[in-house]
Structure 1
Amino acid sequence: MNLMRAKEIKDDPNMKNVVYKGKYVYINEVNDDKQKAIIHYLKESGTEFEVDVTELNEE
C-alpha cells in the first residue's frame, strides 16, 4: 500500500479491510515523514505497533 492510500483509509469513517501478515488490522495513525503506520490487530486491541505502509495490503 502507498502512503496516500493508508492516509485515506485512516481518515475514512467506513472501515476497510486492511491486512498485515495475514491478519486484519486497523490503522490508528500514519506518519508522513517516516512513511510508517501505527496499527493494531482487530481482534487484539491494545497492542499497537509501527510498520512500513508498504507492508499493508487492502483486500
Structure 2
Amino acid sequence: MAESELGVLSSQYLDRRIRDKQTLIDEIAAWEADRNANYAKADWQFATKNARVKLKHLYPAI
C-alpha cells in the first residue's frame, strides 16, 4: 500500500523540481491532508486468499 501511495504522490504532485527541503515537506503535508480528507482507499482487485495463491512464488512462507 505504501508503495502505491508513493506512486500516486510522485505522479500527482512531484512531477516537477522542488526548490528546497522545506517546500517539499510543506507540499507533501498538503497532499497528505487532502488524501486523508477525501478518504483515499486502495481498490484491491482480488481477495487475500486469491492473492496468496497467485503470488505464492513471491511469498512462499506465509
Give TM-score, length-normalised by structure 1. Answer: 0.23
Structure with greater helix percent: 2
The answer to which structure, 1 or 2, has the higher relative contact order (CA under 8 A, 6+ apart) is 1
Q: Kindly name which structure, 1 or 2, has the bigger radius of gyration based on alpha carbons.
A: 2
Give TM-score, length-normalised by structure 2. Answer: 0.23
